[in-house]
Amino acid sequence: MVAAENLEALMADLESVLEGGNLNELTMFLSRLSPYEYVEVLERLDVGKRSRVVSCIPLSNLKPILNKLSEDLILELLRVQGIDNMAKVLVEMPSDEVADLLLKIPHKIRTKLANLLPHWKMIEVMSLLKYPSESAGGIMTPQVPIFIYKSTVGEAIKEYTAKNELGMYDKHSYVYVVDENRKFLGWVDVKSFISLSREKLLKDVISKPPATAYVRSHREEVAKTFVKYDLIEIPVLDEDGRLLGAVTIDDVLDVAINEYSEDLLRFGGFIRVIKGRYLTANPISIVRSRLAPLVYLYIMNVVTGWVIASFIGVIERIAVLAAFLPMLSDNSGNVGAQASTFIIRSLAVGEIGPQDIIRVLKKEMIISLTLIALLSPISFLIGALITFTAYMSVTQAVVVGLIVAVALIASTLVTDITGVLLPLLLPRLRIDPVTISAPLITTVGDIITTSTYFVIATSLISVIHF
């Protein structure tokens, strides 16, 4: 991430070089940038200027961040620099990063690019592509040091050193030990491994890791395991206990950011999650993602309108009641959104589960009643004051204040419990609780509040004399 002030200066310098039109000067300027500065710069250039810049960037300079580029930028690199040059760079990248990149490009181009990779490289990549991108297998690296348990430490160190110098291993912190059938037996951290007595057998120096991951486990579950056991790496096994690779902490950090981004979008009301970065996202794809939920919520709000219309007689008689509806609706929506956010967060980090529903409800009832005790006197005073100002009648002010306070009590309790129950019950239906978005909770809260408010007003109207 480039600091904002540095980025502005960098963009200004680049614009100046581009206006000069000197290709050599542009190439020299770009050669001084780090890979991460390339990303920030390319995302902020318009299409015409970006093509000129892309043509002057050596693809090898982009290796550390190539798989993190948006689909549009990757396709532009392929168009400008060619598939052949891209293939040469992919050979030198870790196989899990190559798999991530290939998933971002259309099938036809992906096939052409794959055909240009060496056979050994493609075997490694294909072994990863057969697993869902959201699984442990989709984010693991198979390029970790693996040795048979019968080997001596000296034999393993000799092989490890040779392969490590050739770049055959991806980033790793452990050496893995298996039996003849590749079933995982244990590991030893690299620092200890190098300093061990050369005569010892590997089976005598290994230890069991705190946890392992199943290859088809969801990547979010793997991330939770990392947090729970404070890991920096975790072995990935198949259903028979055979070692397939490992997930490292840098992979998990990417997962955590991606999962957080997806959950945030879903909770904001997006049905279709937008992949990639905002600045390079196609505006049409954003419109598609935002339009459907807006139409859905608009239709749901018709129910609120219908409820209000059905109580038009009450509103005509006591017009001041309409003044408090926005306040009550906003309050109930906020209460429901707060409750659902808290529960979804607790579910996400593994603090609670659907089995804790009774405990959660008891706790939330205490919270709701405490909130009601604090909010209802305020709502009564506001309702009474505004009504007295409009009608100059203490009786009418007290009754309307009472209506507002009772409506707030009922709507707060119902929306709070609703906001808690929905995220807890949805996992039982195999639905992601994050789909209970803040806009949806607010809309449900509006319907509940409007109905409650006018039913209470109708019940108490007989004591009001206008």
Lowest mean per-residue pLDDT among 158-167, 207-216, 246-255, 433-442:
433-442
Supply the pLDDT for residue 379.
Answer: 92
Tell me which of 97-106, 357-366, 378-387, 432-441 is least confident.
Answer: 432-441
Among 3-12, 60-69, 196-205, 269-278, the least confident range: 269-278
Domain boundaries defined on the chain: 4-136, 146-267, 282-463
pLDDT of residue 438: 64
> Would you mind telling me the total number of residues written for the chain in this entry?
466
> Who has greater pLDDT, 380 or 392?
380
If you average pLDDT over residues 147-162, what whole number do you get? Answer: 94
pLDDT of residue 279: 64
- Per the CB < 8 A criterion, the answer to whether 333 and 441 are in contact is yes
Are the CB atoms for 437 and 266 separated by under 8 Å?
yes
Per-residue model confidence as pLDDT tens digits over 89-142? 998 888 888 888 888 888 888 889 988 999 888 888 888 888 888 899 988 989
Q: What percentage of the chain reaches a pLDDT higher than 90?
A: 24
| Among 129, 152, 132, residue whose Cα is nearest residue 142 | 129
Q: CA-to-CA distance for 37 and 27, rounded, in angstroms? A: 15
Q: What is the pLDDT of residue 146?
A: 96
Q: What is the 3-state secondary structure (H, E, C) of the chain?
A: CCCHHHHHHHHHHHHHHHHHCCHHHHHHHHHCCCHHHHHHHHHHCCHHHHHHHHCCCCHHHHHHHHHHCCHHHHHHHHHHHCHHHHHHHHHCCCHHHHHHHHCCCCHHHHHHHHHCCCHHHHHHHHHHHCCCCCEHHHHCECCCCEEECCCEHHHHHHHHHHHHHCCCCCCCCEEEEECCCCEEEEEEEHHHHHHCCCCCEHHHCCECCCCCEECCCEHHHHHHHHHHHCCCEEEEECCCCEEEEEEEHHHHHHHHHHHHHHHHHHHCCCCCCCCCCHHHCCHHHHHHHHHHHHHHHHHHHHHHHHHHHHCHHHHHHCCCHHHHHHHHHHHHHHHHHHHHHHHHHHHHCCCCCHHHHHHHHHHHHHHHHHHHHHHHHHHHHHHHHHHHHHHCCHHHHHHHHHHHHHHHHHHHHHHHHHHHHHHHHHHHHCCCHHHCCHHHHHHHHHHHHHHHHHHHHHHHHHHCCC
Rounded to whole angstroms, the Cα distance separating 240 from 255 reads 26
d(CA 451, CA 310): 10
Average pLDDT over residues 74-82: 88
pLDDT one-digit tens code per residue, 26-48: 888 888 888 888 888 887 887 77
Sheet holding 233-237, edge to edge: 213-214, 233-237, 243-248
Provide the CATH number for the domain formed by 4-136 in this structure: 1.25.60.10
Exposure string for 178-206, b = 16+ CB within 10 A, e = fewer: beeebebbbbbebeebeebeeeeebeebb
**Better pLDDT: 348 or 194:** 194
Look at the block and give the residue holding tokens 């198949």.
Answer: 238
Average pLDDT, integer, range 404-422: 87
* Superfamily (CATH H level) for 282-463: SLC41 divalent cation transporters, integral membrane domain (1.10.357.20)
Q: For 55-74, what is the mean pLDDT?
A: 83
pLDDT value of residue 384: 92
Confidence at 382, pLDDT banded by 50, 70, 90: very high
- Tens digit of pLDDT for each residue in 414-462? 888 888 888 888 777 666 665 555 667 777 778 888 888 888 888 877 6
Q: Tens digits of per-residue pLDDT, 212-222?
A: 999 999 888 89
What integer pLDDT is reported at residue 366 of this predicted model? Answer: 92
pLDDT at 3 over 80: no
Distance (Å) of CA 331 to CA 208, 362, 383: 52, 22, 14
**Confidence band, pLDDT 50/70/90 cuts, at residue 261:** low
The pLDDT of residue 269 is above 60: no
Per-residue pLDDT at 206 exceeds 60: yes
| CATH 3.10.580.10 at 146-267, yes or no | yes
Please give the model's pTM, rounded to 2 decimal places. 0.61
CA distance 457 to 460: 5
Task: Share the mean pLDDT of the chain.
Answer: 84
